[in-house]
Amino acid sequence: MLLEFTVNGIARRLDVDPALRLIDVLRDRLDLTGTKEGCGEGECGACTVILAGKAVNACLVLGLQAQGQEVVTIEGLARDGQLDPLQQAFIDEGAIQCGFCSPGMLMSSKALLLQHPHPSEAQIRSAIAGNLCRCTGYQKIVKAVQTVAERGACHE
Amino acid sequence: MSNLTYQAPASVAELAACLAQAQPGTRLLGGGTDLVIQLRDRGIQDGTLIDLTRVAGLDTISLEGDRISIGANVTYSELSEHPLIRSLVPCLGEMASQVGSLQIRNSARLPGNIANASPAGDSIATLMALDASVEILDGRGERSLRKVAAVVTGIGKTTLERDEAILAVHLPRPRPGQRSRYGKAGMGARAQVVIANISLTLVVDYDSAQGLITGAQAVLGSAAPLAYHARTAEALLCGRRPSPELGRELAEALRREVEVSIKGVEMFMHKLNDIQGLALDLFSHLFRDLL
């Protein structure tokens, strides 16, 4: 079935099997492998992408449900070769260890900052409550989001 | 390549036409947080998916006359943030804000929770306490109302027919003096359907002129296969004046209710402690201004 949607600002048009999830379409059809699959059932948040402005688990949405919508993945954060300030803050604060949760953490945090440019710590923790970090580096992740919020610089 | 067929009706009339063609193997798709997992777990490669999320006009919350209507496509996030819900039915907003993670709440909706009839379905007990009904559309295009308590009949069992879809959830407009609270003990913010170990929804009518509770609903979720009214606790509250002592009596009455429902199963014994703590917590918040 024909799926037409926008991914990281680029209009995409492809024929997809209705059984494919959004994560399958992104990774296997569009080669956007930055989005990770951890648990496949909405527990870990590694597959988080921004769909129509909201953070969702790409493993729980069918590809066809993105019809006509705008999707932003981790590959869509950097602009013109410049990292998003949020990505830079993750590096600066040492908020990345093994890296597997990082794309999901970044997309959950990005969705939060788009809605609340100056979130409280409680809001940050709530926004990433559905993202598991097995290296347990949560403090630094929270710090990184706070840092970018303080700098007041986040790509729209 | 699967043999799944995907339909995305854009209007209620188109939805009715899809429902009229429903076969065994036709499934309704909402936010997908349960169904997409089921499709994979069960290796489902055939049948038809009717995606409800594109049906126009089902994404609003409104107060119309004597009822509050919540469209089928209102997500838990939207429910938890809506001013009307927060001010008039706080227990429903509290329930919605505690479902799953934010990612789940951004997708999941009430009808799927009702239709899946999971014993851990967070919303069912709260909707029962609020005397909620669902508006159902069938394949002939006709609409009908059914109480949530009459829809969910067992674990994974409902009275919904193959050609029926939930269009909206309706609540009676809260009475003046109505207060409500929801709480659960169990897994925190993250979990696929948030497995509540036990939940409690309290809805009371408080007559401030007399200083008395004049009506009470106390519904227990995840204490038994089906959510149920704790009748002894409800009776206990009626006609009484809120006091710390009444809160303790409520906790004890609920503990006894749960003791009966868990039938001595050892792995559920922790629920006896959980419910007492929940009861004391909710009661003190419910009457924070008076205690």
Kindly report, residue by residue over B114-171, the tens digit of the pLDDT: 999 977 788 999 999 999 999 999 999 999 999 999 999 998 999 999 999 999 999 9
Q: Which among B37, B51, B77 has the least Cβ separation from residue A41? A: B37
User: Residue A106 — very low, low, confident or very high, per pLDDT cuts 50/70/90?
Assistant: very high
Instruction: Examine the domain organization and report whether B224 and B148 are in the same domain.
Output: no
Q: Across residues B12-33, what is the average pLDDT?
A: 97
Q: So what's the pLDDT on residue B103?
A: 96
Q: Which domain holds residue B46?
A: 5-52
pLDDT in tens, B230-277: 999 999 999 999 999 999 999 999 999 999 998 988 888 889 999 999
**B93 and B140 in a common domain:** yes
Distance from CA of A58 to the nearest CA of B (A): 9
Give the position of tokens 């918040």: B285
Query: How many Cβ pairs closer than 8 A exist between chain A and B?
Result: 91
Q: For chain A, list the domains and their CATH numbers.
A: 2-76 (3.10.20.30), 85-151 (1.10.150.120)
**Cα–Cα distance, B257 to B262 (Å, whole number):** 9
| Cβ–Cβ under 8 Å, residues B252 and B228 | no
Question: Which is nearest to B120 in space by CA: B229, B227, B31?
Answer: B227
Contact check, Cβ <8 Å, A42/B31: no
B136 and B109 share one domain: yes
The pLDDT mean for chain A works out to 95
Residue B232 inside a domain? The answer is yes
In a domain, B120, yes or no: yes
Residues B110, B143, single domain; the answer is: yes
pLDDT of B190 > 50? The answer is no
Please give the model's pTM, rounded to 2 decimal places: 0.94
For B39, nearest residue in chain A (alpha carbons): A19
Choose the closest CB to B4 out of A18, A126, A127: A18
Q: Does the CB of B8 have a partner CB in chain A at under 8 Å?
A: yes
For residue B94, what is the domain's CATH number?
3.30.465.10
Asked if the structure places residue B162 within a domain, the reply is yes
Look at residue B193 and tell me if it is in a domain: no
Q: Is residue B195 part of a domain?
A: no
Q: Is residue B242 situated within a structural domain? A: yes
**Cα(B117)–Cα(B153) distance, integer angstroms:** 8
Do the chains contact at A67 and B32, CB–CB below 8 Å? no
Residue B270, domain CATH:
3.30.390.50
| Residue B224 confidence (pLDDT) | 87
Confidence band (pLDDT; 50, 70, 90) for B221? very high
Examine the domain organization and report whether B125 and B224 are in the same domain.
Answer: no
Mean pLDDT of chain B: 94
What pLDDT score was predicted for residue B234?
Answer: 98
A18·B5 Cβ contact <8 A? yes
Shared domain check, B166 and B65: yes
Q: CB-based contact (8 Å) between B189 and chain A?
A: yes
Q: Convert the pLDDT of each residue in B77-122 to its tens digit.
A: 999 999 999 999 999 999 999 998 999 999 999 999 999 997 778 8
Verify that B112 and B32 share a domain, yes or no: no
To which residue do tokens 């648990």 refer? A39
Instruction: Indicate if B65 and B135 belong to the same structural domain.
Output: yes
Q: Which residues of A touch B191 (CB under 8 A)?
A: 43
Give the rounded percent of residues in chain B with a pLDDT score beyond 90: 87
In-domain check, residue B190: no
B130 and B156 part of one domain: yes
Query: ipTM of the predicted structure?
Result: 0.95
Task: Kindly state whether residues B68 and B168 are assigned to the same domain.
Answer: yes
Residue B193, pLDDT > 50, answer no
Question: B162: buried, middle or exposed (CB in 10 Å: 19+, 13-18, 0-12)?
Answer: middle
Among B101, B109, B116, B195, most A C-beta atoms within 10 A, so best to mutate, is B101
pLDDT category of residue B195 using cuts at 50, 70 and 90 = low
Which pLDDT score, from 0 to 100, does residue B252 have? Answer: 98
The per-residue pLDDT for B196 is 59
Q: How far is A120 from chain B (nearest CA, A)?
A: 16
Q: What is the number of structural domains in chain B?
A: 3
Alpha carbon distance A149, A127 (integer Å): 14
CB neighbour list of residue A130: distance below 8 Å, 6 or more residues apart: A42, A45, A48, A57, A108, B100, B101, B102, B103, B104, B189, B190
CATH code of B40's domain: 3.30.43.10
User: B80 and B20, same structural domain?
Assistant: no
Same domain, B41 and B66: no
Q: Which pLDDT score is estimated for B265?
A: 87
Residues of chain A whose beta carbon is less than 8 angstroms from a beta carbon of chain B are: 1, 17-19, 21, 40-43, 45, 48, 54-57, 59-62, 64-65, 67, 108, 126-127, 129-132
**How sure is the predictor about A153, in pLDDT bands with cuts at 50, 70 and 90?**
low
B51 touches chain A (CB under 8 A): yes
> Is B189 part of any domain?
no
Per residue in A23-52, pLDDT (tens digit) is: 999 999 999 999 999 999 999 999 999 999
Higher pLDDT, B193 or B111: B111
B189 has pLDDT over 90: no
CA-nearest residue to B31 within chain A is A61
B102:A108 CB<8 A: yes
